[in-house]
Amino acid sequence: MSKRTVYTDYFFDEPAYNTHDGGFIPLEEPKTPQEPLRIPELLKPDEETSTDMYYTVIAQPGEVQLLPGAKTKTWGFNAPFLGKTILFKNGKTIHITLKNELPELTTFHWHGLNVPGPITDGGCHAPVYPGESTQIEFKCHQPAATLWLHAHPCPATAEHVWKGLATEVLVTDDVEAKLPFPRNFGVDDIPVILQDRHFHKDNQLDYIADYDPDGVQGPTPVINGTVNPYFDVTTQRLRLRLLDGANRREWRLHFSDDLKFTQIASDGGILPEPVDFTHLMLTCAERAEIIVDFKGHKPGDVVTLYCDDVPVMHFRIHEFAADNTELPDHLVDIPDPEVTAGAPVHKVVMSGMDEEVMMNGKKFDMQRIDDRQQVGHVEYWDISNTNDMSNGMVHPYHMHGTQFRVVSRNGHAPYPNENGLKDTVGVNPGETVRLKVWFEHLGVYMNHCHIIEHEDGGMMAQFEVYDPENPKTYQLMDMTTLMNAFAKERGVAVKDLYIPGMDM
């Protein structure tokens, strides 16, 4: 038996939990019958060779039976809601046709993928207009991880994600393939996209009605696009690829009877050492791969996953073969490069709440580059949250184009599960989190709070990764062009266009 510590803490500052926010909407247990958890099936490549993979990713409108009665109108990637799961093999060259079948422009952002910015990365500078398609191509070069794809058309990112434009992206590699993890997709290795929604008349979503500048929430947990899901457990060990895909909600997760589970991966890949928990908090956009061991449970048992005190998913235990696999105490080696001599320390300050949110005292501007870092250099970034400890929020800070290391929290060691590669980190009020950051590709990228309404509302900035030997100029999108396009597509005059995040 392993002697690893079992942590029972959420670690984040309790006074800053979203439950303390005036606008907090608690989850409620759905009253509808339990439904089998939807498993977002793997997207089939159009073609695959020993060196290349070809995909077509389509943003499309659809409708889905989320509740009894009327279907809900939604958006998704190659599916009516959320999407199919997309798999990239490390080392291959990936070619993707991005197709937009929605009535309005959107973008395809590969959250956590190390690719050049700003076009391949798919932020606001890379709109794909309705009825059009574009191509991207990149070499997948990073360790096995659970990443995700979501729309990012600022300042309508939050609305597009709310309608369903989010799905998991899995990177696989030879290192992960040799570890004793469950990896039978859909059977003992499953995506778990944690979201919440509010259903209005006829089971429809109404983003504008639910708008809250501190983040839109709803009372109904929706897991992989399933209300009140159950999952049939047929193996002793189950790997859950958890993604906080909510616009605003923090998920404080624990199982019935405080069943222990083991985190094996964070945002950017496998952790150097597995970490055992009974409780885990995820902030928006964070991922955690966990292994749950149902040893000691018998057919007919039900194990429930809770967020705070609300059941969000039920695991129905069936007959399974005994599995005594023990995880090694060391899983993988991960990079921890030396900071480049003489490098500056970057400062990022997240301030304000509601409409007042800012980054470094400014609102986001697509045409402004706020910071620069030389490609290949390794530099510290100090990320501060100046909200007040008594009524502030945890802001999940995210950077495009990299997987970083978390060095410290207010000078102290980071949380026990932050010793891996990450692209999003929750920053408590009054806290400064020091990151060690490096980039492999050139480009203009975004960094922001991942409460998506904060990002749309301007708690976002841009930086350029540059090479002094190879200076580049970028064609950056501007708000007027995007607003004119949205107005035309929505059939309204620009002055009548209303996207909540635009009042920034």
Q: How far is the CB of 54 from ligand C2O (least distance, A)?
A: 24
Which of 201-209, 409-417, 443-451, 484-492 is the region at the interface with ligand C2O (rule: CB under 6 A)? 443-451
Near Cu ion by CB under 5 A: residue from 64, 169, 358, 449: 449
Task: Report DSSP letters for 385-432, one per residue.
Answer: E-S-TTT---EEEEETT--BEEEEETTB---TT-SS-BSEEEE-TTEE
Near ligand C2O by CB under 6 A: residue from 38, 99, 109, 422: 109
Q: Is residue 482 involved in binding ligand C2O (CB under 6 A)?
A: no
Query: Binding mask 407-446 vs Cu ion (x if CB under 5 A, - otherwise)?
Result: ----------------------------------------
Q: Tell me which amino acid residue 466 is.
A: Y
Near ligand C2O by CB under 6 A: residue from 111, 297, 346, 405: 111
Conformational region of residue 245, where left means phi above 0, alpha means psi within -120 to 50, and beta covers everything else: alpha
Kindly identify the residues of this chain, within the stretch 145-164, that bind ligand C2O according to CB under 6 A: 150, 152
**Residues with Cβ < 8 Å from 83, sequence gap 6 or more?**
40, 43, 76, 77, 149, 164, 165, 166, 167
Residue 449 interacts with, from ligand C2O, Cu ion, none (CB under 5-8 Å by kind): Cu ion
Distance between CA atoms of residues 233 and 259, nearest Å: 15
Q: Is residue 446 involved in binding ligand C2O (CB under 6 A)?
A: yes
Q: Where are the beta strands (DSSP E) in 84-236?
A: 86-89, 93-100, 109-111, 133-139, 145-150, 166-172, 189-197, 220-223, 226-227, 229-233
- Three-class secondary structure assignment of 174-210: HHHHCCCCCCCECCCEEEEEEEEECCCHHHCCCHHHH
Distance between CA atoms of residues 475 and 479, nearest Å: 13
Query: Binding mask 449-478 vs ligand C2O (x if CB under 6 A, - otherwise)?
Result: -x----------------------------
Beta-bridged to residue 461, according to DSSP, are: 447
Q: Is residue 451 involved in binding Cu ion (CB under 5 A)?
A: yes
Size of the site for ligand C2O (CB under 6 A): 11
Contact predicate 148/77, CB 8 Å = no
Alpha-carbon distances, residue 462 vs 118, 149, 197, 295, 504 (angstroms) = 10, 20, 30, 48, 16
Beta-bridged to residue 10, according to DSSP, are: none
Q: Which is nearer to Cu ion, 189 or 431 (CB)?
A: 431
Q: How far is the CB of 172 from Cu ion (least distance, A)?
A: 20
Which of 169-177, 358-366, 446-454, 469-477 is the region at the interface with ligand C2O (rule: CB under 6 A)? 446-454
Distance between CA atoms of residues 35 and 232, nearest Å: 11
Residue reference for tokens 């409108």: 61
Which of 169-177, 325-333, 359-367, 442-450 is the region at the interface with ligand C2O (rule: CB under 6 A)? 442-450
Near Cu ion by CB under 5 A: residue from 92, 99, 400, 405: 400
**Residues with Cβ < 8 Å from 133, sequence gap 6 or more?**
97, 98, 99, 100
Q: Which residue is nearest to ligand C2O (CB)?
A: 111
Near ligand C2O by CB under 6 A: residue from 145, 222, 285, 307: 285
Near ligand C2O by CB under 6 A: residue from 237, 239, 422, 448: 448
Residue 285 interacts with, from ligand C2O, Cu ion, none (CB under 5-8 Å by kind): ligand C2O
Kindly identify the residues of this chain, within the stretch 395-414, that bind ligand C2O according to CB under 6 A: 398, 400
Which of 8-16, 128-136, 182-190, 387-395 is the region at the interface with Cu ion (rule: CB under 5 A)? 387-395
Strand, coil or helix: what is 18? helix
Q: How far is the CB of 466 from Cu ion (least distance, A)?
A: 20
Q: How far is the CB of 139 from ligand C2O (least distance, A)?
A: 21
Q: Is residue 287 involved in binding ligand C2O (CB under 6 A)?
A: no
Q: How far is the CB of 402 from ligand C2O (least distance, A)?
A: 12
Residue reference for tokens 């009825």: 131
Q: Which is nearer to Cu ion, 249 or 395 (CB)?
A: 395
Which of 195-203, 372-380, 447-455, 480-488 is the region at the interface with Cu ion (rule: CB under 5 A)? 447-455
Which run of H or E residues covers position 445?
A: strand 443-449
Distance between CA atoms of residues 93 and 17, nearest Å: 41
Distance between CA atoms of residues 446 and 401, nearest Å: 8
Which residue ranges make up the site for ligand C2O (CB under 6 A)?
109, 111, 123, 150, 152, 285, 398, 400, 446, 448, 450
